[in-house]
Chain A
Amino acid sequence: MEILTLSFIEDLPQAEIARRLSLPLGTVKSRMRLAYGHLRKTLEQPT
């Protein structure tokens, strides 16, 4: 979820997130996909 926070709240491009977390860009992207899927599932669940 940290990756989504860095993107939506800190306004950081993915390459900058990769630099800040010392991760390859591909890893940032795959974590972004996972976090987005997870957030989507959590927030769109009918309550």
Chain B
Amino acid sequence: VTIEHHLDAATLVAYAAGTLDEAFNVVVASHLDWCPACAEEARRAALLGGELIGKLAGTPVSEDCRSRTLNMLDTATLHRFPKAPSTGGEVPEPLEYLLKGKSLAELPWKRKAPGLALYDLPLSEASSGKLFLMRIAPGTAMPEHGHGGEEITLILSGAYNDRFGRYARGDVADLDESIEHQPIVEKDAACICLVATEAPTRFKSWPARLLQPLIGI
């Protein structure tokens, strides 16, 4: 996987601090699974966060609290953060876990508009975001749109082009509400993406806006 489009540093810091919404966490963790450069940057951000916490003035705690904390550390399982990136696989590991072993072709996609199918992924009730897979047919031009909030899209297969360049497998589009774009999928294959959003897409044209409640994005 050759990756040209990476995560914003502000997103990586939020991920390392553990403050991203669950939907965004899944997309970021999925990108890190394929992108050694962003995985290294996330690891560095976590270390710097640790340094920052280490510089805080100490707070007195009871001996009981201190010994219980140290005991918990002794018995804790060590996880490498983030885990070493993988290379193969149809989808990144965090997504594979959510799909419970099903391939993309096996999913019950819901056709929402000509050339567009979606598959909603389950999130816990605590999440305020929305997480879904989007499959866009070859050659389809999405209506020009902005974003009501933040949106991160990871390309799983196929490719699209917009004014920011070409996005293919492993690339991530880390967009906020100020960005408007019109992705056009390349003609040789469908483009399948993993998308996290915090607010509905803002289509510019009135036909797209009329269809939006039916499309569900």
Q: Which residues of A contact B (CB under 8 A)?
A: 4-5, 7-9, 11-14, 25-26, 28-30, 32-33, 36-37, 39-40, 43
Contacts and interface: CB of A to CB of B under 8 A. Distances in A.
Contacts of A26: 176-178
A37 B52 CA distance: 14
16 contacts: A4-B13, A4-B52, A5-B52, A7-B14, A8-B49, A11-B18, A13-B20, A14-B10, A25-B176, A26-B176, A26-B177, A26-B178, A29-B8, A30-B10, A32-B13, A36-B48
B9 interface: yes
Interface residues of B, number: 23
Chain B binding site: helix, strand, loop or mixed by DSSP?
Answer: helix
Contact of A32 (B10, B18, B21, B150): B10
Contacts of B53: 8-9
Interface of B: 8-10, 13-14, 16-21, 44-45, 48-49, 51-53, 56, 150, 176-178
Nearest to A32: B10
